[in-house]
């Protein structure tokens, strides 16, 4: 494998890992502090995001997150 391709692939992989490492805790925080969700929904979303990481975060942000008027 050429050295440039190996370096580029490594950069993409580490960038993805860093993105997931930031997105997952932020999403867990937003789920826990979302006043629009009832307790059961919060627990369900926390489990989904915790177990499915990136997929769970994408599902939460696309399905359950409703922005406030001030956001």
Residues 20-42 have pLDDT tens digits of 999 999 999 999 999 999 999 99
Number of domains in the chain: 1
pLDDT band at 70 (very low <50, low <70, confident <90, very high): low
Decide: 57 and 24 in contact? Cβ < 8 Å. yes
CA distance 71 to 22: 20
Task: For residue 70, tell me if it sits in a domain.
Answer: no
**Whole-angstrom distance, CA of residue 35 vs CA of residue 13:** 35
Domain range for residue 9?
Answer: 3-64
Tell me if 52 sits within 8 A of 59, measured CB to CB: yes
Q: Is residue 21 part of a domain?
A: yes
Mean pLDDT of the chain: 89
- 69 assigned to some structural domain: no
Mean pLDDT, range 38-52, rounded to an integer: 96
Residue 71 placed within a domain? no
Band of residue 47 on the pLDDT scale cut at 50, 70, 90: very high
């Amino acid at each position: 494998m050429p050295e440039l391709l190996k370096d580029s692939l490594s950069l993409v992989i580490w960038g993805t890992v860093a993105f997931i490492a930031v997105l997952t805790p932020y999403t867990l925080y937003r789920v826990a502090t979302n006043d629009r969700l009832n307790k059961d929904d919060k627990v369900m979303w926390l489990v989904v995001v915790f177990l499915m990481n990136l997929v769970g975060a994408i599902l939460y942000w696309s399905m359950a997150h409703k922005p406030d008027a001030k956001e």
